[in-house]
Structure 1
Amino acid sequence: MSTPTLHPAAAPLERAGQKSLEQRLTAAKKAYTTRFLADSLQADPSGYRLLTGPDVNPAPGDIVLARVERIGQLPRLESPVSRRQTLFVGDEVLVAYANRYAPDQVLAEVPGDLEPCHLVAAGGLAGKVTVSHGSIGKPTQLLPIGLLADGHGRLNLKRFAPYSLDQDAQPRVRPHVVAVLGTSMNSGKTTAAACLIKGLTNAGLRVSAGKITGTGAGGDPRLFHDAGAVTVLDFTDYGYPTTFRLEEAELRGLAMSMVNELAGSDPEAIVVEIADGVYQGETRQLLNAKFLHPLVDSVLFAAADALGASAGVGLLRAAGHDPAAVTGLLTVSPLAAAEAEAELDVPVLGTYELAQAETAMRFLAPAPQ
């Protein structure tokens, strides 16, 4: 294998002596996904180098310095503190390579080399868009300059993550765990989880919260904090830019490690969200995995309409999970909620009802025998 060389896109800047790599890394716009790297760079931007050339093959979580070539569907980049940074052509950004699955947006894959690619999520993900929703415009285009490396080799998000995965983790003593799932993206899962956290907090409980799967972004964890969770974790805290295409063993390790860590803050309840819909690959794996049953004590299911609620409850029960209630986007419509109530034998609860202490406490009651 040939030794990686300086990427042609970087050469003019290096030859011109306009900025050193330290200066470029300091000036580059950092993404939410690279927030732990950003802390390290702020402390000391020296000791880094770029891996470039045709033999450099990116992997999920690898960190790339890239230049914005065209502004498209995503004109802003979420910063480490979740500020939306406006992008301009010519900006240099630090983002992470990742695969992404989002039915109402895009399917994207990590390319095989440092070819031009796209910003595939505002949280700071680089990939190659292969399929787009009909409502989505052309993606913002990036030109990779090089993978970030140091004296120990290429840098991946896992190197900077504050928590590490324990694939052999076993359930520990913990409080009641409520899992929130849904029919699809935008079915109301995150809002429902936040309202449930608020309701349990209003009841005087200490609540911790986590997001086991999804696409790296700061909005959901920050919403859980705002709802009153004393500790919040998600997969990015373990160095994963997304969880798309993780194998079951890794999903198990992530779920177990996260719940065990959340339990360490001595909460009286834990609320975890599982992203996307029940047909999405990793969500389906989790639902059917034997390890999830002893890890989760009750399930809240979010749906966009009555038919989705009915089908979802059936799928959950087939996998051995009996939902305690249905909520989500369908409850915005009194008629849709009434349709669901007529078909289901579980309560249909308005999303913001969950923020009431009495309603939230129902999820901690023992399941009827």
Structure 2
Amino acid sequence: MNADVHTSVTRIANLEERSYRVQKRHRDRWATGDYVFARVTQRPDPDVSIENQRGRRVKLMEGETLVGALGSRRATRELVGDWRAVEDDGDLSVMTGGGVLGRVTSSSPFSQTPVELEYEGHVVVDDEVVRMDDHGLTAEPTDWETPVVLVLGTSMSTGKTMSGRVLTRVLVEEGYDVAACKLTGAGTYGDVLSIGVAGAEPIYDFVDAGLPTTVLPEETFRDAIKPILDSLQDADVIIAEIGASPLEPYNGMAALDLLDEQVAFTVLCASDPYAVVGLEEACDCPPDLVTGIATNTTAGIDLLDQLTDCAALNLQEVAAKEPLRELLTDALPE
């Protein structure tokens, strides 16, 4: 039995190309990262889509089947949910575009209506449930010496991925060999793929580490993420994105701690100027550059000039490219 759609969280196990069985398991035997097979129970809204294994967006129809992974999400502007909240009826929702599955317990008016599913069973190969953490990236431990351009935000949806793409293009044009990673969040494959399109190679995110999202114990997160950082050290510079805000329960602070000695330049994507002040005080991580929604207008940039000592640029404007280039090349080794 094969699903109609294998979501992007299945890419590390390449389930689309493998033979597997579907086996129901009692709720007390479920675990984070289990791959499960489910059927769409009602026609989704026309604007709702999910990513397939290659990161392409697909619209689902009622009755179609998919494979995703059990996980948790704690989004401030979209969905909150957890596989542990699933009841005996087996009703599930697609909580991220990448295929993280669970029961939604809270939602924002900004969020799309999630795809509703009925659990049919776990994905089984050779009588064993297929789990994400069995397919996480491995690497030989190495010294972490490559400089990092850190991209973080005051919240989700502040322009981090777009900023990462612009940063990558500028650095590639300057002759740097750029690698990229998204270390925390509950995002989609498209986020890191877009940075790859800008010229970064290799590119990884937390899914490559075997994690559906990074809402999980800190020790588990640290152990899973280290091979990603080990795998990027041959580059000249690493673009590292922290999903959402480091203050949210995605282990952003743990990621900052792991990267601390490598960070050469910090870009903060802010929802508004006052949020910059709040994050500076809460995290003790003053940025070298502020961008994102807070810089969409000259009024926002003027207010940032009043409230902070940070440079501020609207990276969506062509005129920002040259000052950005100067800031980055001054901060990075030649």
Per-residue deviation, 1:280: 0.4
Report 1:281-320 matches (<5 A). 281-283=249-251, 285-286=253-254, 289=257, 291-317=258-284
Shift of 1:282: 2.9
CA contact (8 A) 1:206 1:267 kept: yes
2:224 & 2:12 partners in 1: Cα distance?
19
Correspondence 1:36 to 2:7: no
Q: Which moved more, 1:124-133 or 1:48-57?
A: 48-57
Report the Cα offset of residue 357 of structure 1. Answer: 5.9
Deviation at 1:210, TM superposition (A): 0.4
Q: Partners of 1:192 and 1:329 in 2: how far apart?
A: 11
Q: State the alpha-carbon separation in 2 of the partners of residues 235 and 72 from structure 1.
A: 27
The amino acid across from 2:92 in the alignment is C
Give the % identical residues: 25
Q: Label 1:40 to 1:90 Cα distance change in 2 as closer, same or farther (>3 A).
A: closer
Q: Residues 12-91 of structure 1: matches in 2 within 5 Å?
A: 21=1, 25=2, 27-37=3-13, 39-42=14-17, 44-45=18-19, 48-54=20-26, 57-72=29-44, 75-91=48-64
Q: Which of residues 60, 81, 90 is equivalent to 1:108? A: 81
Distance 2:200 2:271 in 1: 26
Residues 270-313 of structure 1: CA deviation (Å, up to 9, x unaligned): 11000001320234532774x44224333211102111122223
In structure 2, relative to structure 1, the CA distance for the partners of 1:124 and 1:210 (3 Å cut) is: same
- How many residues are matched? 328
CA displacement 1:55-97 (0-9 Å, x = unmatched): 5532111111111002346732211122222211110111111
Give the alignment partner of residue 134 of structure 1, picking from 86, 90, 109. Answer: 109
Rounded Cα–Cα distance in structure 1 between residues aligned with 2:31 and 2:239: 31
CA contact (8 A) 2:147 2:262 kept: no
Counterpart contact for 2:315–2:321, Cα < 8 Å: no
Deviation sequence 1:12-55 (CA, Å, 0-9, x none): xxxxxxxxx3xxx1x52111111233x3542x42xx33231535
Measure, in 2, the Cα distance between the counterparts of 1:357 and 1:183: 25
Cα RMSD between the aligned structures?
2.5
TM-score (norm 1): 0.81
Question: Residue in 1 aligned with 2:196?
Answer: 225
Radius of gyration: which is bigger? 1
For 2:16 and 2:159, locate their aligned partners in 1 and report how far apart those are by CA, in whole Å: 36
How far off its partner does 1:165 sit? 7.7
* 3-state SS in 2 of match to 1:249: helix
* Structure 2: runs of 5 or more not aligned: none
Any idea what SS the aligned residue of 1:181 has? strand
8 Å CA contact retained: 1:248, 1:285: no
Matches of 1:239 and 1:327, distance apart in 2: 31
